[in-house]
Structure 1
Amino acid sequence: MEEKNLDENSSSFTCKQNDNNSGEMPRSPMEDPAETDAKQNDEIEKTVNEGNHAKEKEEVDGVEAPPESESPLPCIEKVSEDIDEFLVSLVEQKEKEATSFGVPGLVERFLDLMEDKIAKYDVEGKAKWGELPEEDASFLESITRISKLMKSLTLQMDSTPPPPSFEGEEIKGTKDSLVNRIGLVQQRMMLYLEEDFRYLLEESRNNPTKLDHGGNQNQNQNHAYHKGKQVVSEQHELNHEKIEESDHDFPGYSNDAILNLNKIAGAMLCGGYQSECSQVYIISRRNALEESLHKLGFEKISIDEMQKVQWETLARDMVPAWINTFKQCASMYFSNERKLAEAVFVEHPNVAAGLFSNLSRGVVIQLLNFAEGAAMTKRAGEKLFKLLDMYETLRDVISKLDELFPEECVKELKTEMTLAKCRLGEATISIFCDLEISIKSETVKTPVPGGAVHPLTRYIMNYLNIAGDYRETLEQVFKEHSKFDHVDSTSSPHHENDDNISGGGGGSNNDDNKDVSPFAAQVTRVMELLDTSLEGKAKLYRDIALSNFFMMNNGRYILQKIKGSSEMARLMGDTWCRKRSSELRTYHKNYQRETWNRVVACLTHEGLNVNGKVQKLVLKERFKSFNALFDEIHRTQSTWVVKDEQLQSELRVSICAVVIPAYRSFLGRFAQYIDPGRQTEKYVKYQAEDIETYIDDLFDGKPHQSIGKRKT
């Protein structure tokens, strides 16, 4: 049966068939050009003769023959349908391993129509994607058809080379010319498609609801006229279902925008324009990500530039912004960016993974450069906790890398992040160990007025108190990143009383020092250095009472700070706290003995009663001594400083407990032996209630008016 010719004016390329089965091989869907030309000539001659006869007959009858109507030019839908049928025939020929094929003239006609469309775009400027949905769908189908035509013809022609003859060379030249023309048309159409892709990525991101034409496009595509359209339509519907089933929530992109991006990306990749498509995607999404980072407060800065920025600016603004940015990227941006790439390139998972890896790695490197820059800044104690915050952020993100990134890029990113984390960890250890230097370099030889808490004590204990909030992280840092054990330290750790400090802390009362964690050992070393430093500073006071008062005051501050941090209390343990409390009681007793016990000694009854008679002169001298000593101590110790209200109250209560009962007893027993009048006022200057009031004036650091003047 003779096959239907696709175009009666077609030009054909032919190759000889192998003479198998005695020349009875199935014929090519395209007829032999010689046979076609012969048939055409016969038909033309027959048509002309019949036309002449008709004309003569009409003239004979006296009727003028009507003009012949010209054949209408085929529409693009009909040509597209024929092209799709031709593509199907090429596939069938390949499956049958046929070695002869022809290229119908309709290919040239199809290219003419595509060039006309492009010329129109060049003159008028193509409308933005989404403004004319039907035009978008038609253009996308055309470029897909061009790509398939290019690929199929190239493959088919390469697999069936022309015979080695002059005619074969001519066929090859014509073939190459046609393929080149198809390639040029494809390239020009891809340029417009590339612009559409860029437009959707950039413009629809700003207004997700602007592009709401996906439904119209889908509806238009569902009414496909031919097999090729139906295949394209079904593929797009399948992709749309995949996107909708995943229920993506992309920031700045509607589902319709995602579907359109997917269609364009698929068309570009199908046509061999993966590089151009990927470049547009990378640039657009990189700009979007940098804009998002900027909104979060993160500014791109080099490591060298960071060294010139004041730490106050880094700590107040830049480090918090970095931490927030990294957390947002790990919790939202990286995940959404991965979903976006996988949705746009749903049929090409390897391309999606590569693009996402490229984008995310660029962002990660920026963030890691900042971290390394912070770790390289000049060491200072106030930087410790900001660096620890950054360390924790990196640590937490590294633990999620397997969930965030494709397997092929996890290893590289994990290596980069771990390196930055190590540098932060090493900087942290160096800064924390500098506490030793802070203590040793404190060489002030002037005692703190009033036996107050020394500034060094406040600095070290406040530092350790905050460090307690980072205990778990510091334990990890010292364990993983410590490169030295301070064996050359001038203050070697002494743990004979620290049997509770172990790797796990928490007052485990483990006597095995081998279990002491590096961080716990470092804290113990700092505490011992501080104790040694305070003992040296206490010796600067000439007054023994004040020296003990100073040690009691500072010791109490240290103990309260340790107890105020649950983590530091667990680290130091109950044994250490009990030992410190015992030391404080000793300092308190020594202070009491050197001051108020001397006052109470003035109130002794010994020597006052001789032979049953009270010695008035001795009694008066006792009152005078008590008054003078009490007045002196009150004047002196009212300038002593106890900021801890609880300790201040405890001291006043303990002093009253020693002095008031003794004075009340002495006064009640011997005041009657003092002559009333001026004698009483001279020697009995205070009532017990007055003594209590004056004791309440002590330790607030403010010199009070002398008691004698206040009573007059």
Structure 2
Amino acid sequence: MPRKGMRSICFPSRAPSFSVSRHSSSPARPSSASTPRRTFSDSMIEQSIEAAAALVTKWDPESSTYAKVTSLFYESKAEAMEFIKCVNDLQRAMQALVSGNSTSDKLVLAQNLMQIAMKRLQKEFYQILSMNRAHLDPESVSARSSRTSARSSMSDYEDDDDVGTAGDAIDEVEEVSSIAMADLRSIAECMISAGYAKECLSTYKIIRKSIVDEGIYRLGVEKLSSSQINKMNWEVLEMKINSWLSAVKISLKTLLHGERILCDHVFAVSDAIRESCFAEISKEGAILLFRFPEAVAKSKSPKSPEKIFRVLDMYTAISENWPEIESIFALESTATVRSQALAALIRITESVRAMVSDFESTLQKDSHSKSLVRGGGVHPLTLDAMNYLSNLADYSHILEDIFAEWPPPPRSSLPESYFDTPQSDDSQAPAISLRMAWLILVLLCKLDGKAEHYKDVSLSYIFLTNNLQHVVSKVCTSNLRYLLGEEWITRHEAKARQFATNYERLAWGKVAASLPENPTAVISPAAAKEIIRKFNLSFEEACQKQRTFVVSDPKLRDEIKESLARKLVAVYREFYDTHRLTVGGERNVGSYARFAPEDVGNHLSDLFFGTTESVSSPSSSSSSSHRRRLRFRS
């Protein structure tokens, strides 16, 4: 399908047409190209009538039990072709008689013979259609054009007996199918030429329409209204949508495509006849096929986040198969099928836009705005929203068409402070990229509001860091990356790091401030002892306060711990090693220094897992060192 997608479908160039007039109940006689006109002498007329009388009478079901139970075309193909020739000659003889003496006995005889012959051919036509249902199934017919290439690809495996057997089976099916199609065409041309198109078409339509309708039914396509769909639970509807997705592909590639080929071949003698015939055979089933997605899109329930993705799957199925739809239903008589398929696309477009608007509204009006996540972890709203948007991004090629003509939301609906850059010209950006960026912005604004409900400001920054990091991570690992671009990712990664820096400053600033800027400076033992005591107290207090804090992303968790270790462990170790012997000796250090430098590193390593354990003493800390530890460089 062309990249323009929905727009090219809504405003297509004029579809090709056969430009034929609809046939009347008495089809026009074939042109001189198909039945050359020539002057019959009386002797030629008599010979034609006599030859026709002999063969037509032989195969008259009313005068012969043999003719009643035997098929002319299956009994003797040569005699069948002779029968067709005799009927064509009989028709020319009748034309000559009409132009000379329309009341002659010969004309009456010829007319009677013609009626008997037409009944015979109608019977043969029905038998060929009925007995060859398996060989004239749409799959066999539609595959004929591709069998040459299939056989050539098999030539690489000529030594494979199984492939050879399969190839023989395909050849046999193709041969039977070709013979049946040729016989049907011969009969159809003869009957149409003789003015019996109505009888021929009636037989063809009855059998072939039943095949199309049965095929559509067996593919699981049902006639369902929007009200019926509204009463379904999501599991049932999703199953029906999945059945439809399979059905539409098979219907267009095989069922309807094969029927189009067969109809065009059998009634090649008349564009008008084959057009009206195919329309009557296929229209009802095809319209039923394309009404289903429209009904699903119209329905207001069931309410399920998954619905938008299945609806987009249906849009994709129609748009990707649009060339087949235009090709199969190109004629004016089947324009209603194209219109129905287009109506389904338009209704799906409206439905998707409405569902995206509902999603945005859900973000804006989140009823759990004051709900807090323990430890400042990733909020369920963030998880659900980013799963939704990352899955939605998988349909970006379709959504670009759907949102192309839909104006973006006004920036005035959010405070200007939430925008990273001043109002700019976004006219060149893809509509779907703008829409996705906007929806994420709405989510981040909502998360800002949730962060304000944490009493501990440092915990609010942990919350913002976790949630923004999750947003960025989902963008980087989905098609959102290509929609939003590297600049968006870089900008929001920097913002996440800034949140983490603010957390460190607020949560650990007092601990860092308890250590001197120059840990090796000469100070009195009393001052050194007081510094160690203050550091231990502030560190213990900070750990105790933050023991339930969570950093969900492992990489971010390690980065924060490494940063804290550089600011605390290294400085504390240097100060501790410099002054511990001067303030009381090795044995007394435990009385004022609860934490040795390695204990500080271990406790930092235990943070951000959301545990409720109290800060343990150095001995118990080392005994419970089964927890994962980081090796901090001092």
TM-score (structure 2 length as normaliser) = 0.74
- Equivalent residues in 2 for 1:80-229, closer than 5 Å: 92-93=39-40, 110=53, 114=57, 117-119=60-62, 122=65, 125-127=68-70, 131-132=74-75, 134=76, 137-138=78-79, 141-142=82-83, 145-146=86-87, 149=90, 152-153=93-94, 155-156=95-96, 158-160=98-100, 178=109, 181-182=112-113, 184-205=115-136
Pair 692,488 (structure 1): closer, same or farther in 2 beyond 3 Å: closer
The 1:108/1:347 distance shift into structure 2, 3 A limit, reads: closer
Q: Which structure 2 residues correspond to residues 427-466 of structure 1 after superposition, within 5 A?
A: 427-444=351-368, 445-466=370-391
In structure 2, the partner of 1:257 is 180
Secondary structure, in 3 states, of the residue corresponding to 2:552?
coil
Task: Give CA deviations for 1:139-175 in whole Å, capped at 9, x if unaligned.
Answer: 564466356536743x45554567xxxxxxxx67x67
Change over 3 Å in CA distance of 1:660–1:431 after alignment to 2: same
Partner of 2:597: 688
Q: Which of 323, 327, 331 is 2:245 aligned to?
A: 323
Amino acid at match of 1:321: S
Number of residue-to-residue matches in the alignment? 553
Pick from 498, 513, 516 the counterpart of residue 601 of structure 1.
Answer: 513
CA distance in 2, matches of 1:488, 1:497: 12
Secondary structure of 2:61 counterpart: helix
How far off is 1:180 after superposition? 6.2
Contact 1:639 1:700 in 2 (8 A): yes
Candidates 631, 634, 638, aligned match of 2:543: 634
Contact 1:452 1:550 (8 Å CA) reproduced: yes
d(CA) in 2 for partners of 1:385, 1:607: 60
Name the structure 1 match of 2:562: 653
- Structure 1 range deviating more: 490-499 or 632-641: 490-499
Give the conservation status (yes or no) of the 8 Å contact 1:197–1:280.
Answer: no
Q: Partner residue of 2:261? A: 339
Of the candidates 198, 201, 204, which is equivalent to residue 281 of structure 1? 204
- Identify the match of residue 385 of structure 1 among 309, 327, 330: 309
Secondary structure of 2:574's counterpart equals helix
| Deviation readout 1:445-501 (Å, 9 max, x if unpaired) | 221111011111122222222232222321211114x3x6555984488996458x9
CA displacement at 1:672 relative to structure 2: 1.3
What is the RMSD of the two structures over their aligned residues, measured on CA atoms?
A: 4.2
Distance 1:637 1:138, change over 3 A: same
Specify the code of the residue in structure 2 equivalent to 1:300: E
Q: Structure 2: give runs of 5+ residues left out of the alignment.
A: 1-34, 141-169, 624-634
Task: Say which of 521, 524, 531 aligns to 1:613.
Answer: 524
User: Contact between 1:129 and 1:200, CA under 8 Å: does it hold in 2?
Assistant: no
Q: Helix, strand or coil: the match of 2:607?
A: coil
Determine the structure 2 residue equivalent to 1:540: 453
CA distance in 2 between partners of 1:414 and 1:156 (Å): 46
> Does structure 1 residue 589 correspond to structure 2 residue 501?
yes
Q: How far, CA to CA, are the matches of 2:412 and 2:223 in structure 1?
A: 38
Task: Give the CA deviation at 1:424.
Answer: 0.9
Give the 5 Å matches for 1:462-541: 462-480=387-405, 482=406, 486=409, 490-491=413-414, 497=420, 511-541=424-454
Q: Secondary structure at 1:300's aligned position in 2?
A: coil
C-alpha displacement at 1:437, in angstroms?
0.9
Q: 1:47 matched to which residue of 2?
A: none
Aligned 8 A contact 1:603 1:663 in 2: yes
**CA offsets, 1:506-536, max 9 Å, x none?**
xxxxx42444554344334323322221111
Matched residue, 1:423: 347
Whether the aligned pair in 1 keeps the contact of 2:360 and 2:439 (CA below 8 Å) is yes
Say whether the 8 Å CA contact 2:223–2:292 is kept in structure 1: yes
Structure 2 match to 1:505: none
Deviations 1:370-421 (A, max 9, x none): 1112211226532222222222222232245554454545755443322221
- Structure number with greater CO (CA < 8 Å, separation at least 6) is 2
Task: Letter of the 1:424 partner, please give it.
Answer: I
CA gap of 1:569–1:547, structure 2 versus 1, over 3 A, is same
Q: Secondary structure at the match of 2:295?
A: helix
Q: Normalising to structure 1: TM-score of the pair?
A: 0.67
Q: Deviations over 1:638-685 (max 9, x none)?
A: 422222121112111111111111210121122213445763333333
Alignment of 1:710 with 2:620, yes or no, is yes
Rounded to whole Å, the distance in 2 between the matches of 1:485 and 1:629 is 51
Give the residue type in structure 2 aligned to 1:415. S
Question: Larger deviation: 455-464 or 179-188?
Answer: 179-188
State the one-letter code of the partner of 2:397: E
8 Å contact kept, 1:457–1:558 = yes
The SS at the match of 1:262 is helix
Distance 1:207 1:363 in 2: 14
> Matches of 2:277 and 2:352 in 1, distance apart?
36
SS at match of 2:581: helix
Give the direction of change, closer, same or farther, for the CA distance of 1:283–1:188 in structure 2 (3 Å limit): closer
Decide which moves more: 385-394 or 537-546: 385-394
1:528-567: CA deviation from partner (whole Å, max 9, x where unpaired): 32222111100111111101111111111222222333x5
| Secondary structure in 1 matching 2:69 | coil
User: 1:576 aligned to 2:488?
Assistant: yes
- Alignment-mate amino acid for residue 69 of structure 2: K
Structure 2 counterpart SS, 1:561: helix
The residue type equivalent to 2:436 in the other structure is V
Q: How does 1:668-687 map to 2 (within 5 A)?
A: 668-676=577-585, 679-687=588-596
1:664 corresponds in structure 2 to 573
8 Å contact kept, 2:461–2:502: yes
Instruction: Give CA-to-partner distance per residue, 1:606-649, whole Å, 9 cap, x none.
Output: 99999x6321xx55554444334333433443422222121112
Change (3 A) 1:345 1:249: farther
Gaps of 5+ in 1: 1-87, 163-170, 210-246, 502-510
Equivalent residues of 1:640, 1:699 under 8 A apart: yes
Aligned residues of 2:308 and 2:355 also touching (Cα < 8 A): yes
Distance 2:245 2:82 in 1: 47
* Offset, 1:332: 4.6
Change (3 A) 1:634 1:151: farther
Distance 2:416 2:401 in 1: 20
Percent identity, aligned pairs only? Answer: 23
The separation in 2 between residues aligned to 1:256 and 1:309, in whole angstroms, is 48
Could you tell me how far apart the structure 1 residues matched to 2:255 and 2:511 are? 74
Larger radius of gyration: 1
Contact 2:603–2:615 (CA under 8 A) maintained in structure 1: no
Tell me: CA distance 1:91–1:364, structure 2 relative to 1, closer, same or farther (3 Å).
same
SS in 2 for 1:281: helix
CA distance 1:606–1:138, change in 2 (3 Å): closer
Measured at CA, do residues 469 and 326 of structure 1 come closer, stay the same or move farther in structure 2, by a change above 3 Å? same
Equivalents in 1 of 2:230, 2:587: separation in Å? Answer: 78
